[in-house]
Amino acid sequence: MGPSDLRTARMGDASGGRGTDRSPRTSRRAVLKAGVGALLAGALPGLPRAARADERAVSPLRGPFSLVSGLGGNVLVRATPEGQVIVDSGSPGQAGALLDALESLPGAGRVDALLNTHWHLDQVGGNETFGARGTTIVAHEKTRLRLAHGYYLRDEDRYREAMPAAALPTETLRDRRDLELGGERIEVGYLLEAHTDGDVYVHFTGAGIVAVGDAVSPLRDPELDWFGGGWLGGRVDALARLLEVGDDTTLYVPSYGPAVRRADVAAEHDMMLALFERTTELLRRGYSADEMLAAGVMDDLPRSLAEPAKFLHDVHQSLWAHHNTISHDIV
Ligand SMILES: [Zn+2]
């Protein structure tokens, strides 16, 4: 297939694609906007410089908020009059370092609540430490189920064992839940199949800060844990939902990399939507992931990925897992 074929694929009749009936927001004619290059970490004036993902750092964010990075996924910290509220708990084995970091921040001494953006180990590694100290742990019900029962690791052909009772979420949600913590309303909402099957955003409504876990990836390649329930269509929808949650003053805090602005989330949404349209079209024609790459689906995008072949492999697997929903004529 040559470039002109790909162009045809991109601009092809929408009647067979999912794009037209996904939602009014996701027009097939969505055009990649200029300025997506701002996705590049560090390009945002007024925001903390991008730390390397493995660089331990504690940085102030806005008002009573701080960011602890380099202990797994980012840990967002909000100081309250009673103590601290945190989003995610870092990797296993890093709880001591995380406690040290929290000790250096306002509100030190007690963590009232821990909210998990999803069930990957980089986000729940410190859960047991906090749960054992009486911290309330909030997460999606699917996250609780994963942690309570263990789950199959397809690439390693083994099961990950259940976590101890102290590590498990004590309060869960299925679609949305509002909490009142430290005098601020915190909205927790499901991001259906954005990255896993248990992703949520955590919106601190007073401060205009949204923790988004791995549903937004300004630094690392976007990751679809397709076997864990993530897929490209879910990611597009999740990014659209996140655009509705915030405004131009909102800070979005991903698991890796610096906080980003709504325009950056919009750029990632547009790029994922373009990839959804390109890859679903080629999937319907029977292309493998490697053939999609060779056909140029990653060309002419505002951002290049470090491992496009891996990303497309996961996209491909995730699309097949949803083949019954992406087109009416695949049976
Ligand atoms: Zn993850």
Q: How much distance in Å is there from the Cα of 213 to the middle of ligand 1? A: 7
Confidence band, pLDDT 50/70/90 cuts, at residue 52: low
Tell me how crowded residue 49 is: count the other CB atoms within 10 A of its CB.
10
Tell me how crowded residue 182 is: count the other CB atoms within 10 A of its CB.
20
Average pLDDT over residues 214-218: 97
Instruction: Give residue 182's pLDDT.
Output: 86
Confidence band, pLDDT 50/70/90 cuts, at residue 56: confident
Instruction: Give residue 273's pLDDT.
Output: 97
Instruction: Give residue 54's pLDDT.
Output: 63
Q: How much distance in Å is there from the Cα of 152 to the middle of ligand 1? A: 15
Share of the chain above pLDDT 70, in %: 82
- Please give the structure tokens belonging to residue 1: 């297939």
Digit-coded pLDDT (tens) for 94-114: 999 999 999 999 999 999 999
Q: How much distance in Å is there from the Cα of 316 to the middle of ligand 1? A: 18
Residue 269: name the closest of 53, 30, 43, 51 by CA.
Answer: 30
Q: How much distance in Å is there from the Cα of 256 to the middle of ligand 1? A: 10
Q: How much distance in Å is there from the Cα of 230 to the middle of ligand 1? A: 10
Q: How much distance in Å is there from the Cα of 322 to the middle of ligand 1? A: 20
Confidence band, pLDDT 50/70/90 cuts, at residue 55: confident
Q: How much distance in Å is there from the Cα of 200 to the middle of ligand 1? A: 11
Contacts of 146 (CB under 8 A, 6+ apart): 119, 198
Q: How much distance in Å is there from the Cα of 122 to the middle of ligand 1? A: 7
Q: Which stretch of 50-59, 76-85, 154-163, 240-249 has the lowest confidence by average pLDDT?
A: 50-59
Digit-coded pLDDT (tens) for 119-141: 999 999 999 999 999 999 999 99
Instruction: Give residue 37's pLDDT.
Output: 36
Average pLDDT over residues 191-209: 97
More confident residue, 171 or 7: 171
Q: How much distance in Å is there from the Cα of 57 to the middle of ligand 1? A: 20
Q: How much distance in Å is there from the Cα of 237 to the middle of ligand 1? A: 17
Which residues are within 5 Å of ligand 1 (an ion), measured at CB? 120, 214
